[in-house]
Every structure is written in structure tokens, then in C-alpha cells.
Amino acid sequence: MRIPEEIKIAGHTISIEFQNGMLAYNQAFGVFDPTNLKIIIDADIEEGLKEETFWHEVIEALNFFCEANMDHSKIQTFGLLLHQVAQSLEGDPQNETRTKKKRG
């Protein structure tokens, strides 16, 4: 999956940035910054974690704009699930739930 440079949520443009060392100083792979409308992801982590972090922070942004007050564990779960959905839409060969139609 290619992580976009920006996304739109509720009429707002959210930029996506990468910074080195996020885990070291934020104790997280990424953050959603509602003041500056940014998702910032640790540039040092592997690609799969970057994608998972992207979806997690998208849920953080949705939670913020909707004032849903979701627990962090629910945000984490929804982020993981959306990551898998995105992979299945791309036809990721690691998605074990994809089936092939038999030709008759």
C-alpha cells in the first residue's frame, strides 16, 4: 500500500509526514496532531508497521472529529482491521481470506 501525502476527513485536509525517531521521543510509532492537522509516522519502522500506524492514526483523527471518545484499545483494533481491509483491496498475496473462483 502506498501511504498518501494527504487525506481528507470531514472537509479537512490532513497531511501525512514521516519523522525519524518518533518511538524514542513520543513512545509511539505515530501521532495525529489535531492542531496542525497532521499524521506523523516514524520513518524508521518497517513498511508494514508504517501502514498499520497510518490506519491507526486515521482512526485517531476520526475519533477526534466525531468526538467519539473511543478507548485506545478500540482505536488500535479498528486500525488493525482497516489495515487488513486495505491489504485485501490491493490483492495482497498474504491475505489468506481471499478465494479464487474455479473455472468449470
CATH number at 54 reads 1.10.10.2910
Could you report the per-residue pLDDT of 42-84, keeping only the tens digit for each?
Answer: 999 999 999 999 999 999 999 999 999 999 999 999 999 999 9
Residue 65 lies in a domain: yes
Q: Whole-angstrom Cα distance, residue 10 to residue 65?
A: 7
Kindly give, in sequence order, each residue whose CB lies less than 8 Å from that of residue 63, ignoring residues fewer than 6 positions away.
69, 70, 75
Residue 101 lies in a domain: no
pLDDT confidence bin for 25, thresholds 50/70/90: confident
pLDDT above 50: residue 98:
no
Cβ atoms of 19 and 42 closer than 8 Å: yes
Residue 93 lies in a domain: no
Residue 22 lies in a domain: yes
Residue 52 lies in a domain: yes
- Count of C-beta atoms within a 10 Å radius of residue 58: 21
Residue 96 lies in a domain: no
Q: Retrieve residue 94's grid coordinates.
A: 498474504
First to last CA, the chain: 33
Count of domains in the chain?
Answer: 1
Residue 1 lies in a domain: no
User: Could you list the residue range(s) of the whole structural domain that residue 26 is in?
Assistant: 6-88
Residue 45 lies in a domain: yes
pTM, entire model: 0.85
pLDDT above 80: residue 91:
no
